[in-house]
Amino acid sequence: MCGCALRPRRRAEPGLQSRRSGRGSGAVPRSGRGAGPASGAARSGPNQTAGRSRAMGRLVALSLLGIGLALLGERFLALRSRLKASREVESVDLPNCRLIKGIETGAEDIDILPNGLAFFSVGLKFPGLHSFAPDKPGGILMMDLKEEKPRALELRVSWGFDLASFNPHGISTFIDDDDTVYLFVVNHPEFKNTVEIFKFQEEENSLLHLKTIKHELLPRYVYVADILAHEIHVLEKQPNMNLTQLKVLQLGTLVDNLSIDPSSGDIWVGCHPNGQKLFVYDPNHPPSSEVLRIQNILSEKPSVTTVYINNGSVLQGSSVATIYDRKLLVGTLYQRALYCEL
């Protein structure tokens, strides 16, 4: 035990206690200086409001971004569906076929005269499409299907026509009353759109350029290919030149050029099984080819037959199929052309 006396505590004076507690704890500043709770909250109010506004702005921006990405994703998936981007094919070959020598850069369209002369538009260049010869102008080739071993010959074009910018696309022939043959060629010089009229000079294997026009020659029935909808629309021309839609035929593939067999009325269709491979060219996974034959299209139940299909190992990007006397020609957008005897 220490033996110390206990001293009673002295009661602090009220004023002294207040001053000491004020100095020690800092709870209540004497002069209002410093950052007491009330004054601090009052000064930070505008900053908090601005912060909430910025957060709300970011939230709205993120929401709009999410909506935009969702819409883009939906459109992308819809486009892939229209392009048949996931479709793969198994080849359906014909027994007597060979690639046509001299056609290396595509034969986008083909038309055949009643006497067996076939005309090819070759060398098409178009934005978004692959080209094996981007610097070479296009041309018109001819093949006589009555020959035992037909071969393609390039037709000379008359002097004065701009061959350097010749970029032929679609092609159609017209025979006048005096048996003069005219070629109507859709042309894209410098990616513009024109229609060129040529006179075919058979003796010289040449084309005489007559003029550049925009003109339409329509038969009674008009067949329109809707490539991304995978449809063929059948229209009928009325006496007042209006068109009436008769029917729509769904085909389940990307339809390109249509050719009518004058002897039977059958429609031969050059098709693209997978549109994505067509526009995004990959030599390891080339675009495939497909040829359909449609019989009795005006009937209630037309017959649709797959005549030829190839996964790209032989023919890439078929765009047209046309027939003469059981001889089938298949052209492509930018590769070869096929000759088959049926």
Residue 63 DSSP SS3: helix
**DSSP-H helix ranges across 26-114:** 37-83
In the chain, what are the helix, strand and coil shares in percent, each to the nearest 5? 20, 35, 45
Q: Which residue has the higher pLDDT, 124 or 83?
A: 124
| 256 is an annotated ligand-binding site residue | yes
**Which region among 18-22, 64-68, 75-79, 261-265 has the lowest average model confidence (pLDDT)?**
18-22
b/e map of 253-283 (b: 16 or more CB within 10 Å)?
bbbbbbbbeeeeebbbbbbbbbbbbbeebee
| 108 is an annotated ligand-binding site residue | yes
pLDDT at 221 over 60: yes
Report the phi/psi class of residue 241: left, alpha or beta, with left for phi > 0 and alpha for psi in -120 to 50. left
pLDDT at 1 over 60: no
Give me the mean pLDDT over the 291-296 stretch.
97
Domains and CATH numbers, the chain: 97-156+212-341 (2.120.10.30)
Q: Which residue has the higher pLDDT, 116 or 50?
A: 116
Q: Which residue has the higher pLDDT, 215 or 270?
A: 270
Work out the burial of residue 76: count CB atoms within 10 Å of its CB; fewer than 13 is exposed, 13-18 middle, 19 or more buried.
Answer: exposed
Residue among 307, 235, 220, 226 nearest 268 (CA): 307
| Residue 90: per-residue pLDDT | 82
| Residue 155: per-residue pLDDT | 96
Structure tokens at 140: 């018109």
CA distance 214 to 33: 88
| 294 is an annotated ligand-binding site residue | no
Work out the burial of residue 56: count CB atoms within 10 Å of its CB; fewer than 13 is exposed, 13-18 middle, 19 or more buried.
Answer: exposed
**Which region among 50-54, 124-128, 321-325 has the lowest average model confidence (pLDDT)?**
50-54
Measure CA 98 to chain center: 29
pLDDT at 101 over 50: yes
| Residue 34: per-residue pLDDT | 47
| Residue 111: per-residue pLDDT | 96
Q: How many other CB atoms are there within 10 angstroms of residue 199's CB atom? A: 15
pLDDT at 64 over 90: no
Q: Which residue has the higher pLDDT, 183 or 162?
A: 183
- Could you tell me if 145 and 152 are in contact, meaning their C-beta atoms sit under 8 angstroms apart? no
Give me the mean pLDDT over the 133-161 stretch.
92
pLDDT at 275 over 70: yes
Residue 26: band (very low, low, confident or very high) from pLDDT cuts 50, 70, 90: very low
CA distance 198 to 115: 18
| Residue 42: per-residue pLDDT | 46
| 171 is an annotated ligand-binding site residue | yes
Tell me which of 169, 209, 230, 272 is the catalytic residue.
169
Active site residue 169: yes
In the DSSP assignment, the letter for residue 240 is T
| 177 is an annotated ligand-binding site residue | no
Q: How many other CB atoms are there within 10 angstroms of residue 221's CB atom? A: 15
The average confidence (pLDDT) of the chain is 83
pLDDT at 65 over 50: yes
**Which region among 214-218, 229-233, 246-250, 267-271 has the lowest average model confidence (pLDDT)?**
214-218
**Which region among 33-47, 240-254, 303-317 has the lowest average model confidence (pLDDT)?**
33-47
**Which region among 87-91, 92-96, 197-201, 252-256 has the lowest average model confidence (pLDDT)?**
87-91
pLDDT in tens, 35-53: 444 444 445 566 777 777 7
